[in-house]
Amino acid sequence: MNERIRVSWDEYFMNIAREVATRSTCSRKHVGAVIVRDRTILSTGYNGSVRGLPHCDDAGHMMEDGHCVRTLHAEANAIIQAAKNGTRIDGAAIYVTASPCWSCFKTIANAGLQKIFFGEFYRDQRIFEMSSELGIALLDLSGAPPASTPPA
């Protein structure tokens, strides 16, 4: 008998975020985001160029301080898509394949999202202290053992 193991809701939504990331148009980092409330997907986003402008994959990267700035990040795109479609996301959770950068963290906080699930740590330590201060749950789904301090 072939026994199927049903994934948890967190794994399910993170798996969808990973699939959303396959739409990314910047080869430097493929990131996907899914905004969820009550086990229902409200919005998705991936890192990609401004609507109507060329993608990194087509026109090359636009580099500043070692980072490509041609694209909007997945979290911002998911929040923008929700706003564009009139979808209320206040109090919802976001699943992101990589932890938010500082700018995206601030956007998430101001959008009223209450939980951030991430699949890998990505470069900005400030989110750990600020999420605690703001009462935003920041949950690591990478499967890495918990550390006493945030990743370096």
Token pair of 13 as six digits: 């939504």
Q: Decide if 28 contacts 56 (C-beta within 8 A).
A: yes
Token pair of 43 as six digits: 């919005």
Q: Please choose, from the candidates 47, 43, 31, 39, the residue with its C-alpha nearest in 3D space to the C-alpha of residue 118.
A: 31
75 catalytic residue (yes or no): yes
Q: Please choose, from the candidates 10, 45, 26, the residue with its C-alpha nearest in 3D space to the C-alpha of residue 119.
A: 10
Q: Which one of the listed residues 11, 19, 64, 75 is annotated catalytic?
A: 75
CA atoms within 13 A on the CB side of 125: 4
Q: Report the distance separating Cα 85 and Cα 42, nearest Å.
A: 10
CA distances for 44 relative to 11, 79, 97, angstroms: 16, 8, 12
Catalytic residues: 75
